[in-house]
């Protein structure tokens, strides 16, 4: 596999995404809104109850942190949908497939174009959230909560895996639909199980601690491998040219 | 340069291309004619290693079509202009070409040189920074042709390059193909346009799932019977009439100063007639062959299979 080819495709798609305002707004506004909202809630809690112990809100802080996984699951949908279905709509896949670039290189390039902005937006928003929460906690109780092991596992293991899973799901759904919106909506299905996990954490069915997050990461890694093989089977030039409608 | 032998492609039970055997020589412009659904695009896709063949074999510059090892090599030496041009509409004309140049591993200086050369040659240089989406159909088609040439391919596949273009744009694209012909590029031209095929192609094949005919335009025209030669004279003298009648021409008739007769091979049969008339003192104004069109040959061959 020639990684240079994948990078050329990824940079082309990243350039195109920069000109798509709706995608750009989604990438910037959604994570930023989550960071500001959650850090404001923590700040509000301490403004009305300054004696609250950090241990009392640890569950809430972990649940909030899990939202960055949800962001990583949600953001690739509009990007991957645009970059794959967009090629179908513009009918630009045939000339691309006639070049010496392999299917794997194209798929990797498309995946990188969705992965990089998602990870960047997630990390930036997580950094903003952690900074604002730590500032509140430090000024009130003289304690810094982040970064912690949960956040390390969450950001550096679960978030990339979730992003990867989301992209793979989008590749599969994009091959079955003809318009970007439908692909994006179908790709967003991945949002549902994460909300389920979040709610399970909230109602105490599971604890979103380091061990649980590692177990979830292991399951996601296995799923990502399986989905990768499925998506590469679907993303084949013959399938694309003769069956993609 | 291109060789196929019994090349076949089936989609389920439907046979799209049936046992295609042909040979395209190096530097030749080869026309591939056929009605919609005849298998022209499927053939091009098989030759460009975009879809697999069901049976048969094909080689491009000695590389085996369908072999994983050779597919990458084939794609390096071919350029494709598909039926749908498939440009990146949000990207500039220059960036569209540059993107493809990069995928063919061209250096920055090579890309710069070829992008400028083709954009200038096709009259798009002034519009190089404009988004391809703002271009007219003709400009898009020209850009797609340039895109297929950025890596200096040995073989160029053109799938209906002038379809849906206005006459002026179609002429520009045709002139460009003629320019490439002068540069001795091997060109495989899928087209519906018989006039275009006749004007551009060295040889033409007619496909209707199966290969119906192959040859030069003149050779294909000769397959049609019922052609007539009409000779217009300034004056029809008795001496001329007697001389013509001695030739035993088929279905000979006169209409004033005009003589008409059936021919099957006008290039071979007309010169002796003209010589006889001149020797008999006749003065010829015009010699026309009627009903000898490629269109008739095409329709006849296509109907024969349908």
- pLDDT the model gives residue B135: 92
Identify the bridge partners of residue B60 per DSSP, sorted by sequence position.
B2, B63
* Residue A56 scores a pLDDT above 80: yes
Contact state of A90 with B80 under an 8 Å Cβ cutoff = no
Cβ neighbourhood burial of A63 (10 Å; 0-12, 13-18, 19+): middle
DSSP line for B225-239: --EEEEEEES---HH
- pLDDT the model gives residue B306: 59
Hey, what are B255's tokens? 């209409």
- pLDDT the model gives residue A93: 87
* CA B61 to chain centroid: 20
Length of chain A: 245
Buried b (16+ CB within 10 A) or exposed e, B158-188: bbbbbeebeeebbebbbebbeebbeeebbbb
What is the CATH number that goes with domain B225-290? 3.30.70.100
For chain B, where are the E strands, in sequence order?
A: 2-11, 14-24, 29-33, 55-60, 63-64, 78-81, 155-159, 186-191, 203-208, 210-215, 227-233, 250-255, 258-263, 284-290
User: Which of B85, B89, B103 lies closest to A101 in CB terms?
Assistant: B103
- Which element (helix H / strand E) includes B195? helix B194-200
3-state secondary structure of B130: coil
* Nearest chain A Cα distance for residue B287, angstroms: 48
3-state secondary structure of B186: strand
Test mutation, B9, B68, B84, B86, chain A, max A CBs within 10 A: B86
- pLDDT the model gives residue B175: 87
- Contact status of B146 with chain A (Cβ, < 8 Å): no
- pLDDT category at A180 given cuts 50, 70, 90 is low
Complex-level ipTM: 0.81
d(CA B97, CA B140): 12
d(CA B96, CA A169): 29
- pLDDT the model gives residue B291: 67
Test mutation, B47, B81, B90, B135, chain A, max A CBs within 10 A: B90
- pLDDT the model gives residue A57: 86
B186-191 and B29-33 beta bridge pairing: parallel
* Residue A21 scores a pLDDT above 80: yes
- pLDDT category at A187 given cuts 50, 70, 90 is low
Domain ranges of chain B: 2-221, 225-290
Test mutation, B11, B12, B50, B164, chain A, max A CBs within 10 A: B50
Length of chain B: 306
* Nearest chain B Cα distance for residue A103, angstroms: 11
- pLDDT the model gives residue A229: 84
Residues of chain B with pLDDT under 70: 223-226, 291-292, 304-306
Contact state of B100 with A95 under an 8 Å Cβ cutoff = yes
* Nearest chain A Cα distance for residue B159, angstroms: 11
DSSP line for A11-69: HHHHHHHHT-HHHHHHHHHHHHHHHHHHHHHHHHHHHH-TT--GGGSHHHHHHHHHHHH
- pLDDT the model gives residue B305: 61
Is residue A14 within 8 Å of residue A115, measured between CB atoms?
no
Contact state of A102 with B72 under an 8 Å Cβ cutoff = yes
At A113-171, the pLDDT tens digits run 999 999 999 999 999 999 999 999 998 888 889 989 889 999 999 999 999 988 888 88
Contact state of A241 with B45 under an 8 Å Cβ cutoff = yes
Q: Which residues of chain B from 96 to 135 reach within 8 Å of chain A, CB to CB?
A: 99-100, 102-105
DSSP line for A157-190: IIHHHHHHHHHHHHHHHHTT-SSHHHHHHHHGGG
Which chain A residues touch B if contact means CB-CB below 8 Å? 4-5, 8-9, 12, 15-16, 19, 90-102, 237-238, 241-242
Hey, what are B189's tokens? 């031209």
Could you give the percent of chain A with pLDDT greater than 90? 35
d(CA A108, CA A103): 9
Residues of B with Cβ-Cβ distance to A98 under 8 angstroms: 48-50, 75, 78-80, 82
- Contact status of B76 with chain A (Cβ, < 8 Å): yes
User: Which of B50, B85, B100 lies closest to A237 in CB terms?
Assistant: B50
Hey, what are B112's tokens? 């710069």
Hey, what are A159's tokens? 């978030």
Q: Which of A87-101, A174-188, A202-216 has the lowest mean pLDDT?
A: A174-188
Q: For chain B, how long is the longest CA-to-CA vector? A: 77
Please report, in angstroms and rounded to a whole number, the separation of the first and last CA atoms in chain A: 28
Q: C-alpha distances in angstroms, A68 versus A61, A125, B246?
A: 12, 8, 99
* Nearest chain A Cα distance for residue B87, angstroms: 6
Q: Give the dihedral of Cα atoms B186, B191, B194, B198; nearest 10 deg.
A: -10
| The CATH number fitting domain B2-221, selected from 3.40.50.720, 3.30.365.10, 3.40.50.300, 3.90.1150.10 | 3.40.50.300
B14-24 and B78-81 beta bridge pairing: unpaired
- Find, in chain B, the residue whose alpha carbon is nearest to that of A19: B90
- Find, in chain B, the residue whose alpha carbon is nearest to that of A97: B50
Domain ranges of chain A: 3-243
């Amino acid at each position: 596999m020639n990684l240079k080819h994948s990078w050329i495709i990824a940079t082309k798609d990243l350039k195109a995404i920069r000109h798509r305002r709706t995608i750009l707004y989604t990438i910037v506004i959604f994570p930023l809104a989550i960071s500001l909202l959650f850090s404001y809630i923590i700040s509000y809690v301490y403004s009305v109850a300054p004696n609250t112990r950090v241990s009392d809100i640890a569950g809430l802080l972990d649940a909030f942190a899990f939202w960055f996984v949800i962001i990583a699951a949600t953001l690739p949908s509009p990007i991957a949908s645009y970059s794959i279905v967009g090629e179908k709509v513009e009918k630009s896949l045939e000339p691309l497939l006639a070049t010496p670039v392999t299917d794997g290189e194209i798929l990797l390039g498309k995946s990188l174009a969705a992965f990089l902005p998602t990870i960047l937006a997630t990390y930036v928003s997580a950094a903003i959230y952690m900074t604002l929460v730590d500032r509140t906690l430090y000024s009130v109780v003289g304690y810094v909560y982040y970064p912690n092991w949960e956040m390390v596992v969450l950001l550096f293991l679960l978030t990339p895996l979730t992003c990867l899973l989301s992209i793979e799901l989008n590749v599969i759904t994009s091959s079955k639909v003809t318009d970007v919106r439908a692909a994006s909506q179908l790709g967003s299905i991945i949002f549902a199980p994460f909300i389920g996990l979040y709610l399970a954490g909230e109602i105490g069915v599971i604890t979103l601690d380091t061990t649980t997050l590692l177990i979830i990461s292991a399951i996601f890694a296995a799923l990502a491998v399986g989905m990768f093989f499925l998506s590469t089977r679907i993303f084949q030039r013959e399938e694309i040219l003769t069956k993609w409608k | 340069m291109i060789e196929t032998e019994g090349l076949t492609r089936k989609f389920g039970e439907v046979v799209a291309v049936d046992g295609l055997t042909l040979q395209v020589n190096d530097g030749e412009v080869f026309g591939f004619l056929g009605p919609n659904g005849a298998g022209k695009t499927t053939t091009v896709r098989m030759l460009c290693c975009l879809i697999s063949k069901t049976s048969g074999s094909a080689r491009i510059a000695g590389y085996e079509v369908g072999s994983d090892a050779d597919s990458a090599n084939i794609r390096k030496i071919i350029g494709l202009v598909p039926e749908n041009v498939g440009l990146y509409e949000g990207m500039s004309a220059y960036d569209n070409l540059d993107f493809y140049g990069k995928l063919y591993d061209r250096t920055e200086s090579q890309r710069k040189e070829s992008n400028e050369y083709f954009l200038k040659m096709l009259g798009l240089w002034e519009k190089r920074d404009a988004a391809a989406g703002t271009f007219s159909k003709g400009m898009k088609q020209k850009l797609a042709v340039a895109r297929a040439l950025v890596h200096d391919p040995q073989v160029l596949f053109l799938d209906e390059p002038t379809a849906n273009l206005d006459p002026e744009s179609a002429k520009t694209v045709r002139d460009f193909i003629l320019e490439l012909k002068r540069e001795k590029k091997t060109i495989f031209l899928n087209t519906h346009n018989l006039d275009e095929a006749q004007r551009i192609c060295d040889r033409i094949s007619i496909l209707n799932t199966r290969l119906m005919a192959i040859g030069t335009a003149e050779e294909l025209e000769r397959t049609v019977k019922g052609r007539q030669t009409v000779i217009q004279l300034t004056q029809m003298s008795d001496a001329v009439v007697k001389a013509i009648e001695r030739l035993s021409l088929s279905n000979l008739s006169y209409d004033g100063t005009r003589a008409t007769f059936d021919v099957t091979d006008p290039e071979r049969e007309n010169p002796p007639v003209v010589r006889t008339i001149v020797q008999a003192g006749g003065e010829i104004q015009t010699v026309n062959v009627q009903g000898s069109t490629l269109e008739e040959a095409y329709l006849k061959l296509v109907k024969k299979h349908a």
